[in-house]
Amino acid sequence: MRTTLTLDPDVLALVQKAMRERGLSFKRAVNEAIRNGLAPTRPTLFRTPSYRMGFNPTIPIDKALRLAAELEDEELLRKLSTRK
């Protein structure tokens, strides 16, 4: 089908870039861009890898936030004491 298409300058630049990089004709570059933009896409499955961290009974896991706060406080006190 023939039609008249008015492209914005930034879109034209993208089409021309695709033409140069892939060696495509104007018609093919526009068709591929429209096809890729309008075709339904399958969501990609995202997985986060998990790792065993071991178990150390000396660290109270259920009190992790308190432990982190105490360590942060100690570090701040150390930094403040070295400023004097």
27 assigned to some structural domain: yes
pLDDT at 19: 96
Please state the domain count of the chain.
1
CB 35 within 8 A of CB 20: no
pLDDT at 60: 66
54 assigned to some structural domain: no
15 assigned to some structural domain: yes
29 assigned to some structural domain: yes
Q: What is the pLDDT of residues 7-64, one digit of tens each?
A: 999 999 999 999 999 999 999 999 999 998 998 888 888 899 998 877 777 766 777 8
Which residues span the domain enclosing 18? 9-38
| pTM of the complete model | 0.48
44 assigned to some structural domain: no
Q: Which residue type is seen at 32?
A: E
20 assigned to some structural domain: yes
- In a 13 Å sphere around the CA of 79, the CA atoms on its Cβ side amount to 6
Is the per-residue pLDDT at 77 higher than 70?
yes
18 assigned to some structural domain: yes
